[in-house]
Amino acid sequence: MLDRTGTPIDPYARAAPRTPLRRIGEELLLAWTLLTRIPAPRFRLETQANLGSAFWAYPVIGAAVGAIGAAVHAASIAVGLGMLSSFALGLAAMALATGAFHEDGLADFMDGIGGGQSREHKLEIMRDSRLGTYGAMALIVFFVLSTTLLYELANTEWQPPLGGFAAVFICVGAMQRAAIGLPLVVLPPARSDGLAADTPTPHYRIFALGVLIATFTSLILMGPGATLAVLAASLTAALAVTWLAQRYLGGRTGDALGAAASLAGVASLAALVIFGNV
């Protein structure tokens, strides 16, 4: 059997799926394998899905990671642990689920920005797997501040209208991953290799869709006021990282993307505490 161009056709060959549903599934799995260390079903790319086109799914995966943290927090409370310890365990569970992916990026980014004397030196430091003083301090402040902000938020009069305190974990997790898109879309890669260079730049519409998904999730679970506070805080933190990366590195790196996610999370929690106390 021949096609219109004269090329032989195997009549028993099964056509590769090209449906939109197939592409959505592939992009979800690509985002899952990138952003978590939880095993995913094996799959083969049969569409044009890539890590750039899959950006819309980053907040979806972030919400799932947040749900893991919320479950561990709730289980810790149920067995009799205090609120502060339960929040710390919830954050630790999220870090384990992602392989401390973003936290590692935050530490390396701060080591490079704080310790390098030139652009090349900063990039070299960020490739070094050893943890420096700036990175260690950044991680300590990140975890201590995140835990205490959650504790302070729990002691405000504000409570999410839907989902209880689990909504905070879920919505902040989604907003963190949406914040990754700002340096990813705005900046060129600082190197010719590495994660940031290997990740195609998402189209602005894909970036907007990711932010919209995170915002819609927050609107449903936390209401408009809290959503506005979290959205403004997370994007401001991501914008600050974008500026630092452009100024000192000349572009984005994987560590800068991780720093954007981590700092967006802290900024979101701080914004919620302020919102809850107003």
Q: Three-state SS string across 48-83, please?
A: CCCCCHHHHHHHHHHHHHHHHHHHHHHHHHHCCCCH
Local confidence band at 197 (pLDDT 50, 70, 90 cut-offs) = confident
Burial class (CB in 10 A: 0-12, 13-18, 19+), 131: middle
> pLDDT at position 202, please?
92
Between CA 57 and CA 29 the distance in angstroms is: 9
**Token couple for 11:** 């009549």
Residue of 121, 256, 123 whose CA lies nearest to 199 = 256
> pLDDT at position 268, please?
97
Percent of the chain with pLDDT over 70: 94
**Token couple for 143:** 């975890």
Local confidence band at 111 (pLDDT 50, 70, 90 cut-offs) = very high
Between CA 254 and CA 262 the distance in angstroms is: 13
- DSSP lists the bridge partners of residue 2 as 8
Lowest model confidence (mean pLDDT) among 30-44, 104-118, 186-200, 218-232: 186-200
CA-to-CA separations, 133 to 108, 125, 136, 257, 259, in angstroms, rounded: 10, 12, 5, 20, 16
Percent of the chain with pLDDT over 90: 74
Residues 154-168, mean pLDDT to the nearest whole number: 91
Residues 216-235, mean pLDDT to the nearest whole number: 97
Residues 31-49, mean pLDDT to the nearest whole number: 88
In tens, the pLDDT along 228-257 reads 999 999 999 999 999 999 999 999 999 999
170 close to 63: Cβ distance less than 8 angstroms: yes
CA dihedral 158, 163, 168, 170 (to 10 degrees): -170
Residue 223 has pLDDT above 80, yes or no: yes
Lowest model confidence (mean pLDDT) among 3-7, 89-93, 98-102, 132-136: 3-7
> pLDDT at position 270, please?
98
Residue 21 has pLDDT above 60, yes or no: yes
> pLDDT at position 42, please?
83
CA dihedral 165, 168, 170, 172 (to 10 degrees): -170
> pLDDT at position 278, please?
84
Residue of 62, 120, 132, 100 whose CA lies nearest to 253 = 120
> pLDDT at position 162, please?
87
Among 7-21, 37-51, 231-245, top mean pLDDT goes to: 231-245
Residue 76 has pLDDT above 80, yes or no: yes
Whole-number average pLDDT of the chain: 90
> pLDDT at position 18, please?
61
Residue-wise DSSP of 184-233 = HHHSPBSSSSSHHHHSPPPPHHHHHHHHHHHHHHHHHHH-HHHHHHHHHH
In tens, the pLDDT along 114-145 reads 887 889 999 998 888 888 899 999 999 999 99
Between CA 87 and CA 147 the distance in angstroms is: 6
